Amino acid sequence: MISRGQTLRDRTLLFTGLVASLAGLALVALAAWWRQGRPALRGTARALDTPWPPGEGFGVLVRAGALGLAILAAASLFPSTLFKGNIVALWSTLFASLPMLWLIHRHLLKPRGLTFSSAFGLTLRRPGGVAGLLGVTVVVIALDQAGALAISWSAWQLGFQPHWWEGLQERWIWGPWDTTLLAGVNAVVWGPVFEEIGFRGLVYVSLRSRLRPVPAALISAGLFSLLHLYSLSGFLVVLWSGLIWAFVFERVRSLLPGMIAHAGGNMLALSTALLFYR
C-alpha cells in the first residue's frame, strides 16, 4: 500500500510538472502573440469567407448522423467483446465519420470549387507556418485547460461534482494493451480530427452565414457539449472548449490549432486514466 501511494505521488508530481511547463510555454507564446498584434498563424479557410446556407449545412449534418449511426449498428453485428472489440468498434469515430466527409465534399465543397484543405485552412501559408501553428496551439491548450480547471473547481465548491467515472472508458483501464492502444488512437487522433470538421467546420460555418461569431460559436459549442451527455460541470467544460476552438478557427482561419488542442486535451484525459487507474 505504501509503495502504491509513493508511485501515485510520483505520478502526480510528474503530471503537475507537465501541466505547469505547458502553462509556462503558453505564457511565452501569448506574450509574443500580443506584441505581434496579429495571429502568429494565418490559414486559408475559404468556407468562412462565403459560408454555405444553414439549410444545406444542417441537411448534410442530419444525413451524416443517420448514416454514421447505421454504420455503428452494422458494426455491432460483428463478433466483439468489451475488451477485445473489432476494429470498427475500436475506431468507431473514423468509420462513423466517413459518410460525413463524403457528404461535405459532395454537397458543400465540390459545388463551390473547394477542397477540405482550402475550405478549412488545413494547409498553412505565411505568416507563421509550423512555428506559428505550434505557438497558437500551445496558447489554445493552456486557455482550454485553465478554463476547464476553473469550471471544475467552481463546480466542486458549489457541490456539483461529476461522478469519478465521467469521461473514462473501460478499455483504457481494463482492456489488453493492444485494445487500449487502438482505443487511444480513436480518442486522440480520429476524435479530434472528425469532431472539429463536424462541429467547427460544418456546424459553425453553417451558422456563420446567418449569425455573428459569438452566437454561432455558442450554438455550435452547445450542440457539441450536449452530445457528450456529461454532468453539468462536464457540460460547461466541453462548452468552454468548443467556444475556444471556434474562436481560434474564426481568428486564424484554420482548423489545425483546434484539432491539435483537442487531441492534446484528449491525450491528457487518456494519460490521467493510464497513470492513476491502470
Report whether pLDDT(182) > 60: yes
Which has the closest alpha carbon to 220: 254, 190, 250? 250
Give bridge partners of residue 125 from the DSSP assignment: 42
Rounded distance, CA 5 to CA 135, Å?
A: 37
pLDDT at 197 (0 to 100): 98
Kindly report, residue by residue over 209-268, the tens digit of the pLDDT.
999 999 999 999 999 999 998 999 999 999 999 999 999 999 999 999 999 999 999 998
How many residues are present in the chain?
278
pLDDT at 82: 60
- In angstroms, what CA-CA distances link 51 with 165, 218, 243? 39, 17, 19
Residue for grid cell 473514462:
168
For range 167-188, the mean pLDDT: 87
Determine the angle formed by the axes of helices 129-157 and 256-276, rounding to 10 degrees.
50
Nine cell digits for residue 217: 460559436
Domain span including residue 97: 2-276
Find the helix packing angle between 129-157 and 232-252, rounded to 10°.
160
pLDDT over 90 percentage in the chain: 50
Across the chain, mean pLDDT equals 86
Contact 254, 200 (CB under 8 A): no
Residue 39 pLDDT exceeds 60: no
The pLDDT, as a whole number, for residue 79 is 65
Are the CB atoms for 191 and 93 separated by under 8 Å?
Answer: yes
Q: How many domains does the chain have?
A: 1
Q: What is the mean pLDDT of residues 45-69?
A: 95
**For the residues of 99-168, what is the DSSP string, one character each?**
HHHHHIIIIIIGGGT--HHHHHT-S-BTTTHHHHHHHHHHHHHHHHHHHHHHHHHHHHHTT-PPPTTTT-
pLDDT (tens digit per residue) in 74-106: 877 776 666 666 788 889 999 999 999 999 999
The pLDDT assigned to 152 comes to 85
Mean of pLDDT values over 36-58: 82
Residue 114 backbone dihedrals phi, psi, to 5 degrees: -110, 155
206 close to 57: Cβ distance less than 8 angstroms: yes
Least-confidence region, from 10-19, 54-63, 157-166: 10-19
